[in-house]
Amino acid sequence: MTTAVADETKYIQRGIPVSNGKLAMWLFLVTEIMFFTGLIGTYIVLRLGTPEGAWPKPSDVHLSEALGAINTFVLIFSSFTVVMAHSAIARGDSKKCLTYIAITFACGVIFMGIKAYEYSAKFAHGIMPGHIADNLIDPSLRQIDVSHPQYEHLQAEEYTRFIKEAGRHPYDPATAQWFKAQVRQKLTPIAQPVLEKIAAAEAQAKQQQKTLTTEERQVLVQQIRDEARSSEQQKALDCYEVVAAIQGTGRDRPASALEIGVMSNKLNEKYHDLHLPAFIPYGNLWASCYFAMTGFHAAHVMGGLVVFAIILIHGLRGRLVKNAWNVSMLELTGLYWHFVDVVWIFLFPLLYLV
Amino acid sequence: MSEPSHAAGAVTGHTVHHDAGPDHGHEEHIPDSTFIKVFGALLVFTAISFAANQVFGAKNPIVNFIIIGLVACCKAFLVMYFFMHLKIDWRKVFVFLIPICILAPMVIIVLWPDMVLAWRLASPDSAP
């Protein structure tokens, strides 16, 4: 009889020397590694498959390195607090464990808050898959004589980068036309006061059997600029210049979609309420990758937050005491949370730095 | 959150539960001081990747990529080895992790010829 009791208490080891819970968690994490490898791997090959230097830089897509770094710190710190919570419960220090879990939960909320702010900035700038005009670079731009006074501006840094890409990047004349029409439609009402003044000057010139020359028009615009006092008037002038470029006023031909793209990007930077369509080569590809990777990562953070909320309630009810179940539960939750941290460790440099 | 006794993994009296397993109660233990050091190291590595980006970001993207990539691998290693207890559990879970360490890079490698090399070769700049 004594022998039988002894046999019952003896653990019979079969297979891998690991508990069922930990085995299940590691198997789950292995599938998760493959899931994120698919996303990150796709991003890497798409990015390296584009011509050198053509992939959007973090500044092009309004990504703040500082915010990314803060989120990295927050997630690393939360990983540290989880491991300390596990250590505390293993020692039987329930109060400390609960404090660490509360800090971890707070870190997760901060991470999600920063991510929400980042997403809202992307939506405000129209940086969403399928919403970015990324194919405006007309290959014929390479043939343009940039030393000609009219195209001198194309020697500027913001243009040379794009002109270098001309011919290496998909160009769609229909999108280019759509883009120019969209920008013109949005800017014309704002530029109306300036347009009206110029129309009045043109009517006056017509009465005198004359037409307004390019130089006279430039003098008039400069005069309006000098008289502009309010920010609204300044804004109307800035918008007018883009509308005039689209119309081809004072030019041999209307400005190319690339020029309008660069101009509208500058306007978007200056006036955050304009929400003109964004011009970013490879922007749609970038946005698809960005939202897929960070979106699924954020969903994992949310999942972790739900678990931490349950643990917090559990602890506030006084049930977070040292026992094998609680120690094991915190260890497994920690494993999941550390994995979420490891994914971010790769996402942060890939998206925000290199 | 209830504590079902049949899944508790606890040894109560003479009853051994299924989830107790042989790793119940670590024989080896990572001290808190190690976790603090690892946390400090992670912060230092993050600062290094940030600084490398400032120094090499625009000048030498390849060096930048290598430094930042290596730093990210070091950070991931630290988190997995200490925080995820692989220092203790590696010999128990290596059977899952080794195939993944082979499969994950393979996903990228098999896409490389069609998604990276083909486009590079097709670029007008690379035309003779």
Q: What are A197-235's pLDDT values in tens digits?
A: 888 988 888 888 888 788 888 888 888 888 888 888 899
* Tokens matching residue A187: 């800017």
Pair (A200, A301) in one structural domain: no
Q: What count of residues does chain A have?
A: 354
Number of domains forming the structure of chain A: 2
CA distance A109 to chain B (A): 20
For residue A114, with 0-12 CB atoms within 10 Å meaning exposed, 13-18 middle and 19 or more buried, which class applies?
middle
pLDDT single digits (tens) A133-173: 988 988 888 888 888 887 888 888 888 878 877 877 788 89
pTM given for the model: 0.83
Strand partners, B11: B16
| Rounded Cα gap, residues A212 and A169, in angstroms | 40
A44 to chain B: nearest residue by CA? B108
Whether A169 is in a domain gets the answer yes
pLDDT at residue number A38: 95
pLDDT tier at B8, thresholds 50, 70, 90: very low
Q: To which residue do tokens 């990047």 refer?
A: A169
The ipTM of this complex is 0.81
Residue where one domain finishes, among candidates A249, A270, A291 = A270
Residue A268 has pLDDT above 60, yes or no: yes
CA distance A196 to chain B (A): 45
Task: Say yes or no to pLDDT of B26 above 70.
Answer: no
User: Based on the domain organization, do A123 and A42 belong to the same domain?
Assistant: yes
B90 touches chain A (CB under 8 A): no
What average pLDDT does this structure show over B19-31?
Answer: 61
Residues A175 and A57 in one domain: no
> Which candidate, B81, B97, B88, B93, places its Cα nearest to that of B25?
B88
Q: How many Å apart are CA A242 and CA A350, to the nearest integer?
A: 35
Chain B: residue whose CA lies nearest to A23 = B93
Per-residue pLDDT of A283-326, as tens digits, reads 999 999 999 999 999 999 999 999 999 999 999 999 999 999 99
Cβ within 8 Å, pair A69-B64: no
| Integer Cα distance of A156 and A136 in angstroms | 18
One domain for residues A109 and A24: yes
- Is there a single domain that holds both residue A52 and residue A85? yes
| Contact map slice: A 31-50 vs B, CB within 8 A | 33-34, 37-38, 41-42, 44-46, 48-50
If phi > 0 it is left, if psi is from -120 to 50 it is alpha, else beta; for residue A74 that is alpha
Helix (H) or strand (E) holding A195: helix A173-207
Whether residue A218 sits in one domain with residue A287: no
Domain that holds residue A59: 20-130+283-353
Could you tell me what percent of chain A has a pLDDT over 70?
96
Burial class of A115 by CB neighbour count within 10 A (0 to 12, 13 to 18, 19+): middle
Interface subset of B 38-77, CB within 8 angstroms of A: 38-39, 42-43, 46, 49-50, 53, 57, 61, 64-65, 68-69, 71-72, 75-76
Report the alpha-carbon distance of residue A126 to residue A268 in Å, rounded: 10
- pLDDT the model gives residue A327: 95
Q: Which residue of A has its CA nearest to B37?
A: A80
Tens-digit pLDDT profile for residues A75-126: 999 999 999 999 999 999 999 999 999 999 999 999 999 999 999 999 988 8
Phi, psi (rounded to 5 degrees) for B12: -115, 120
Domain map (residue ranges) of chain B? 31-84, 90-121
Q: Which of A270, A303, A327 is the last residue of a domain?
A: A270
**CATH value at residue A104:** 1.20.120.80
Instruction: State how far the alpha carbon of A116 is from the alpha carbons of A67, A79, A109, A123, A168, in Å.
Output: 11, 21, 10, 10, 35
Evaluate whether residue A6 is within a structural domain: no
Return the number of other C-beta atoms located less than 10 Å from residue A224's C-beta. 18
Helix (H) or strand (E) segment spanning residue A338: helix A324-348
